[in-house]
Structure 1
Amino acid sequence: MEYGTDVKNRVKRIEGQLRGLTKMMDENKECRDVVTQMTAVRNALDRTAAVIVSQNLEQCIREEKQNGESTEDLVKEAVDLLVKSR
């Protein structure tokens, strides 16, 4: 699968959030603020995983339909991937 600029930019933003988290810890910021930042990073990762799965699913469904094959297993696999990522 080819990853687009939008997905790569999401990952770069997450990387920046992680650097910010490390800086917060180095500066002994409040627990509440650190955990809030961790939650933001986790949510950003979850959203990025969802984007990747949905883009891949869309592409795979098109290919399966062109080949006349069932797409049911693909959808189940995509849902399983999303569930596992949480």
Structure 2
Amino acid sequence: LLKSNPICDREEHLHSFIDWLHSNGVDTSNFEICSFENYGFGLKATKNLASDECFLTVPRSIIITTDTIMTSSSFGSLIIKDQL
């Protein structure tokens, strides 16, 4: 039985994810998404940042919370069935 490689699967969708971030107001100029050996995907700074400089801002509209997930047409019913 062959198992799919999750890193390859994620890499296939990375550009779509970055486009989605941009379309939702996320500024990606301070970082890039890359794969770290033995750790998987993460964020890497693309320039030296001052200690008080913002690395990433996530708009409230795309933050997943217990409130937003319950109203999601995709995930709300799943959470009701399996509350773990």
The structure with the largest helix share of the pair is: 1
- What's the TM-score, normalizing by structure 1? 0.31
**Higher strand share goes to which structure?**
2
Name which one, 1 or 2, has greater alpha-carbon Rg.
Answer: 1
Question: Larger RCO: Structure 1 or Structure 2 (Cα < 8 Å, ≥ 6 residues apart)?
Answer: 1
